[in-house]
Structure 1
Amino acid sequence: MEAPEKCCDTQFKVLSTGDYILPPPLQASIDKIVEKEGYITHKTINRSISTSGGNFLAELFEVDIKGKTADGDKETNIFIKNKMDDIQVTVLDVTECYTLENFFYGQLSKLYNDIQNKANIPVEERYNMVKSYDATNPNAIILENLAKKGFTTVHRMEVAPLKFAQLSVQQLARFHGLSWVLEKQHPEYFAKKIRSLKSTFQFNDDYQKFIDNMSTYTDKCVDEGQKVKLNKFKSGILETLRKNYFDNAGSRCCLCHGDYRANNILVKKDGDNITEVIPVDYQLLYYGCPVMDFIYFIFPCTDQEFRSIHLDNLKDLYYESLEKFLKYFNMDVESVYPRCEFETEYKKRLEFGLIFSLMITPILFTNDDDVPDITKDDLGTLSVTPDPKMDERIRGLVDDFQKWGIL
């Protein structure tokens, strides 16, 4: 076997075979898992996972542990999300992003499981979370590798299948519901750990440069009249973003996912039928208006035809799912989050759907082998080559938001 070169404290070492040697802190975490899982003898295989534009703040790896325990042969499949050392993103507090995800998997997910267990919520009615390992450390999130169980993701350019959208909206409603249950059952913990969470986005000059840069791609998709309306709309985008994320006076708030998009939702199929979804990626958690998560999800992964047929039904489904979930805890949805408030907030914050879609769609529609590295490149000069299919998606967005009076 090839003798491995010594690797530094935080870097992965790649062997000529393509296998990876984990840095010492991460290897120590895997060793703890090996011990806790009861392995007597074992071997591990470490592999890198291509993000294909689905993750911008981490290196992704999988570790397969195979060996013998007192009960016989065993295999443990692990997914690792490892912090990059050289991230240069100025529009996010990256350190806080990792702190938030460690908080979710290290504390909150366990508390949420306890809350759901005590309420005897049926498996099919629960908020789904990936199993995490206590060996998770500040620089890495260590989870069960659900790819080994057939889970995958919807591709960035794909219009969300209806069943996927329905299951995802139901999960989102339960996620928000758990926040309100937590507030009721553990008010001191909620006040200390949740209500204080602010968005990690930095709406600064670099963010404005990113907006302007992405506009050079989306403007090409529309006619001159629409371009004039877009440019007028975009002149106040930063202030609109600050208002939506930080000005929640008079709004009913809860813990928001912050990055609830198709790439961050694992999906499992039985043949062609989608049977289950599991949300992941909790790096952008914040305390804010729940409608923001709904809007954030809907617009980047749907086209005009989908929205014309299904948008109102998905809004109804979100609210009905929230109502059903809260009943397990003897909580009345109209007392927690009245439907009239939900509708008011939706109309008030609808413009966010256009803003976010205009910013992210050029990247979502870039082919896998041409996705830019936003952790190193200047966001103001980031170069992408969107697939021609983006044109129709953008035109549909602009047309819808004209009809709704936003443009």
Structure 2
Amino acid sequence: MEAPEKCCDTQFKVLSSGDYILPPPLQASIDKIVEKEGYISHKTINRSISTSGGNFLAELYEVDIKGTTADEDKETNIFIKNKMDDIQMTILDIAECYNMENFFYRHLSILYDDIQNKANIPVGERYNMVKSYDATNPNTIILENLAKKGFTTVHRMEVVPLKFAQLSVQQLARFHGLSWVLEKQHPEYFKKKIRPLKATYQFNDDYQKFIDSMSTYTDKCVDMDKQVRLNNFKPVVMETVKKNYFENAGSRCCLCHGDYRANNILMKKDGDNITEVIPVDYQLLYYGCPVLDFIYFIFPCTDQEFRRKHLDDLKDLYYESLRKFLKYFNMEVESVYPRREFETEYKKRLDCGLAFGLLLTPVLFTNDDDIPDFAKDNIGKISVTPDPKMDERIRGLVGDFQKWGIL
């Protein structure tokens, strides 16, 4: 095993490299790409990699194809996410997760590109997507390896930089906007392919055990008075999350990302300046209320000081970005998603921000050498060793929700 390499803000470990032999189905996919890209001669360099806690349910690989075509010397850099065998993630349908991401890259992303191209949306105003390649099996996602172009992620324990948050919120607004545009331009497709998409979470006994397990870590971060408040909230955490995902009567809905957090948003820097972000990881797509994506992004990725300074501005930025994006399609945001409804839904669903924060923070703050094996272990029995920096994050989270009257 090679030593860890530091790549911008995220820890990146090469597990094996050079002449690493890919599993046969993955090699078949690479052979298909080699043929489609027109290589006459080529060599490949394969690496098995880890994101040190950024990904829990997949085997990750990098493949560099170098060679010549009829016209030029060429290099193709590929990132592979492959479903692990024997995953014990009982609260998610993993096969459906991979089907969902394949649906996005093989079908929906093509439609979204076509929609944006026909509207002549400038490069800097588009919803950004990673180039994808066809895979030979449904358990594999094959993408352009943007790490080779300088893209990286914010480390999961860090508060996201303001510029990163701003660009990410703009992209989120465009993602939601595209859903409403798709509904308008292709109503039958939307009715058959998008509206039926439900969240894949299974709210079962293991989910409740996971809630109970994570609370043993978060309770220790606060004083006795706040522990009492958290214990009063804990019995309704599962119902809170379930309600927000599945009870949408009367809510304006669209296609939602479902896992819109810092680890699933690639960023590119020019020196210290973040210039571009690209969302990835579409395994948890579902049809629901768009405010939930915004809340899911904010609370696991920021601290109390950040929210005090920037939360209201980011809400304004989301809505204005949606307004500007829909203008390209001659759609008025107040007709599609009135600001009053956005604010009502935000207040109605804010308690889910507390639930997300309490459930995700202990995992995000797990030390690199103690990352739980979500693929092999029952999630109800997962234990972690959070970094001490988690304490302040949880205290700020609890303090905000006490101030807002939810605790």
CA contact (8 A) 2:258 2:284 kept: yes
Match of 1:295 in 2: 295
Residues 18 and 69 from structure 1, CA distance in 2 versus in 1: closer, same or farther, beyond 3 angstroms?
A: closer
| Aligned ranges 1:215-226 → 2 under 5 Å | 215-226=215-226
1:134 is displaced (CA, Å) by 2.5
Find the aligned partners of 1:18 and 1:364 in 2 and give their Cα distance: 31
Find the aligned partners of 1:274 and 1:74 in 2 and give their Cα distance: 28
| Aligned ranges 1:81-96 → 2 under 5 Å | 81-96=81-96
Match of 2:112 in 1: 112
1:342 is displaced (CA, Å) by 0.2
Q: What amino acid is the match of 2:304?
A: Q
Residues 16 and 194 from structure 1, CA distance in 2 versus in 1: closer, same or farther, beyond 3 angstroms?
A: closer
Q: Any idea what the Cα deviations from partners look like across 1:202-233, whole Å, max 9, x if unmatched?
A: 01110000000000000000011101111111
Match of 2:306 in 1: 306
Q: Any idea what the Cα deviations from partners look like across 1:166-188, whole Å, max 9, x if unmatched?
A: 00000000000000000000000
| Aligned ranges 1:150-299 → 2 under 5 Å | 150-299=150-299
Residues 214 and 68 from structure 1, CA distance in 2 versus in 1: closer, same or farther, beyond 3 angstroms?
A: same
Residues 15 and 397 from structure 1, CA distance in 2 versus in 1: closer, same or farther, beyond 3 angstroms?
A: closer
1:238 is displaced (CA, Å) by 1.5
CA contact (8 A) 1:153 1:263 kept: yes
1:127 is displaced (CA, Å) by 0.1
Of all paired residues, the percent bearing the same amino acid is 85
Q: Secondary structure at the match of 2:81?
A: strand
Q: Secondary structure at the match of 1:21?
A: coil
Match of 1:9 in 2: none
1:136 is displaced (CA, Å) by 5.7
1:36 is displaced (CA, Å) by 1.1
Q: What amino acid is the match of 1:114?
A: D
1:20 is displaced (CA, Å) by 2.1
> For structure 1, which segment, 167-176 or 359-368, has the greater mean C-alpha deviation from structure 2 after superposition?
359-368
CA contact (8 A) 2:322 2:333 kept: yes
Q: Secondary structure at the match of 2:277?
A: strand
Find the aligned partners of 2:242 and 2:400 in 1 and give their Cα distance: 24
> For structure 1, which segment, 392-401 or 26-35, has the greater mean C-alpha deviation from structure 2 after superposition?
26-35
Q: Secondary structure at the match of 1:104?
A: helix
1:17 is displaced (CA, Å) by 6.8
CA contact (8 A) 2:159 2:303 kept: yes
Residues 15 and 383 from structure 1, CA distance in 2 versus in 1: closer, same or farther, beyond 3 angstroms?
A: closer
Residues 17 and 203 from structure 1, CA distance in 2 versus in 1: closer, same or farther, beyond 3 angstroms?
A: closer
CA contact (8 A) 1:358 1:394 kept: yes
| Aligned ranges 1:357-372 → 2 under 5 Å | 357-372=357-372
| Aligned ranges 1:116-155 → 2 under 5 Å | 116-135=116-135, 137-155=137-155
CA contact (8 A) 2:56 2:374 kept: yes
Find the aligned partners of 1:16 and 1:152 in 2 and give their Cα distance: 20
CA contact (8 A) 1:102 1:136 kept: no
Q: Secondary structure at the match of 1:81?
A: strand
CA-atom RMSD in angstroms:
1.3
Find the aligned partners of 1:104 and 1:153 in 2 and give their Cα distance: 21
Match of 1:27 in 2: 27
1:292 is displaced (CA, Å) by 0.3
- Calculate the TM-score normalised by the size of structure 2: 0.95
CA contact (8 A) 1:213 1:379 kept: no
Q: What amino acid is the match of 1:217?
A: Y
Q: What amino acid is the match of 1:270?
A: D
Q: Secondary structure at the match of 1:278?
A: strand
Find the aligned partners of 1:15 and 1:404 in 2 and give their Cα distance: 45
The reply to whether residue 375 of structure 1 matches residue 375 of structure 2 is yes
Q: What amino acid is the match of 1:384?
A: V
Find the aligned partners of 1:87 and 1:16 in 2 and give their Cα distance: 22
Q: What amino acid is the match of 1:161?
A: P
CA contact (8 A) 1:102 1:137 kept: no
Find the aligned partners of 1:255 and 1:349 in 2 and give their Cα distance: 17
The reply to whether residue 337 of structure 1 matches residue 337 of structure 2 is yes
Unaligned runs of 5+ in 1: 1-13
CA contact (8 A) 1:106 1:136 kept: no
Q: Any idea what the Cα deviations from partners look like across 1:278-335, whole Å, max 9, x if unmatched?
A: 0000000000000000000001110000000000000000000000000000000000
Match of 1:7 in 2: none
1:16 is displaced (CA, Å) by 8.7
Q: Any idea what the Cα deviations from partners look like across 1:107-152, whole Å, max 9, x if unmatched?
A: 0000000000000000000000000013363010010000000000
Match of 1:57 in 2: 57
Q: Secondary structure at the match of 2:183?
A: helix
Q: What amino acid is the match of 1:308?
A: R
> For structure 1, which segment, 60-69 or 362-371, has the greater mean C-alpha deviation from structure 2 after superposition?
362-371
Find the aligned partners of 1:55 and 1:15 in 2 and give their Cα distance: 14
1:376 is displaced (CA, Å) by 1.4
CA contact (8 A) 1:128 1:278 kept: yes
1:369 is displaced (CA, Å) by 1.9
1:234 is displaced (CA, Å) by 1.1
Unaligned runs of 5+ in 2: 1-13
CA contact (8 A) 1:136 1:142 kept: no
Q: Secondary structure at the match of 2:164?
A: helix
